[in-house]
Amino acid sequence: MLLSKLFIPITKDLPAEAKIKSHQLMLRTGMIRQSSAGIYSWLPLGFKIMKKIEQIVREEQNNVGAQEMLMPTIQSADIWKESGRYDDYGEEMLRISDRQKREMLYGPTNEEQITEIFRSSVKSYKLLPQIFYHIQWKFRDELRPRFGVMRCREFYMKDAYSFDLSENEAVLSYNKMFYAYLKTFQRLGLKSIPMKADTGPIGGDLSHEFIILADTGESKIFADKRIFDVPIDEYKNNESSLKKMRNDFSKFYAVTDDKFKTEDFNKNVKKEDQIQTKGIEVGHIFYFGDKYSKPMNCSVDTKDGKKTFVKMGSYGIGVSRLVAAIIEAKYLNEKMKWPKSVSPFDVVIIPSINKNDNSNIDKAKKVYKELKTNGIDVLLDDVEENISNKFKKHDLLGIPYQIIIGSKATKDQFEFKEIDKDSQMLDLNKIIKLLKN
Ligand code: 5CA
């Protein structure tokens, strides 16, 4: 892609409400644009990053056997009346009616919808367990939408739903999701901590929030710092290993402020291991047994001919929130740095362009072609602009690797730089090798 052709409406004037770095940077680099309070359009750069995050989330869901589907954004109020949540959900729910005056709503979550689908087609224990997920827009009429896409009204969420015959089996589904979440956040370059959490309007009594550390996070967290050393890579997706994983995490105190009690903290964590800081909730998982299946009459026949309500859990990841959360977690020394896995481009070529001399831009175009032939997603900064402005712009955009073509470049050696590291002179084959790794 040529930078001159890429729609990045960089803005300098920021609205007063853009208080945190991610919100400011997403507006400045034209990743998003507010349409109305808490509702955003995703412009090409922001959208590309979100799609990369979505794909990693999808792959890790598929890896634990969850099946992708797609439910609509608009739901009938009837199923919410059945579960009893229509009134409970209050003003956060956007209620609408169609031309027949039927009550509809823009889904804030999909427990009712998936339970309705499941109960109408599954009657026997033989089809259990099942885990379904979809990645779809949600709407919550938040009282105070703020921090850009971090807490907005329309947001993109991956939500999964598990169906099991017994509580024991449901806990295995829960553990699989727990594992998928650790892997997902790891691939996004984030260190997430699972913390015991309150269940709020979703319900149930087993729940974990996945939190990443960031000063601007809205969640206050209290943890034993040794929880960071739990060896994620050692766990496998099988029952005993997943049990061990849950057990290993549960050894260390880690809660958000809803669950925090000073005396528990001091009793369970040595002073030198205590950390109190802030974080961003990027995922939240719940086990709630028959909270929905019972009122909605979602049961299956058991082996011995009886009926039982299925045991359910639900599992959310804030895909759009993650874009901002990654910025908050990675921003350093006035520079952005996208993790390789979600960076909008693998590398940017920055030639120093001189009106009277085409040699740098010609070299840059050759390198560009060669990288593209090798399947590397490359951005060429072909804009005529002074080189120090170019560097400032790329510090803002945060593509992790740069190839700088200026006075140092020779016929076959180019300056290759990873953000925040010293540059080195390398030949193109070496650069391609590095980028492909
Ligand atoms: N039904 C359950 C699990 S699917 C559920 O809705 N859980 S949730 O309410 O915790 O939301 C799941 C994730 O969506 C959160 O962890 C958060 O990352 C994201 N999220 C929730 N509300 C917002 C919001 N207003 N703006 C952006 N992201 C949000």
DSSP string, 306-334: -EEEPEEEEEEEEHHHHHHHHHHHH-BTT
Which of the residue ranges 7-21, 23-37, 282-296, 372-386 would you say has the lowest mean pLDDT? Answer: 7-21
Residue 66: CB within 6 Å of ligand 1?
Answer: no
pTM: 0.96
Question: pLDDT tens digits for 48-84?
Answer: 999 999 999 999 999 999 999 999 999 999 999 999 9
Determine contact, residues 403/350, Cβ cutoff 8 Å: yes
Which of 212, 223, 228 is CA-nearest to residue 268? 223
Using the CB atoms, write b or e for 15-34: b if 16+ within 10 Å: eeebebbbbbbbbbbbbbeb
Could you tell me if the CB of 155 is within 6 A of ligand 1?
Answer: yes
The residues, any chain, with a CB within 8 Å of residue 132's CB and separated by 6 or more, are 66, 67, 68, 69, 114, 160, 161
Strands 413-418 and 424-427: antiparallel
| Sequence letter at residue 172 | L
C-beta 281 within 6 A of ligand 1:
yes
Question: Of 106, 321, 326, 328, which is best to mutate to test ligand 1, by the most ligand atoms within 8 angstroms of its C-beta?
Answer: 321
Centroid of ligand 1 to alpha carbon of 326 (angstroms): 16
Residue 151 CA, ligand 1 centroid: distance in Å: 9
CA distances from 52 to 25, 45, 317 (A): 19, 11, 14
Would the CB of 157 count as within 6 Å of ligand 1?
A: yes
Q: What is the tens place of the pLDDT at every residue in 3-60?
A: 999 999 888 888 788 999 999 999 999 999 999 999 999 999 999 999 999 999 999 9
**Cα dist from 419 to 6, 36, 197, 373, 403, whole Å:** 22, 35, 37, 24, 11
Rounded CA separation 254/219 (Å): 12
Residue 211 near residue 259 (C-beta atoms within 8 A): no
Q: Which residues of 201-240 are buried (b: 16+ CB within 10 A; e: fewer)?
A: ebbbebbbbbbbbbebbebebbbbbebeebebeebeeeee
Reported as a single tens digit per residue, the pLDDT across 144-180 is: 999 999 999 999 999 999 999 999 999 999 999 999 9
- Out of 284, 322, 323, give the residue to mutate to test ligand 1, the one with the largest number of ligand atoms within 8 Å of its CB: 284
d(CA 304, CA 302): 5
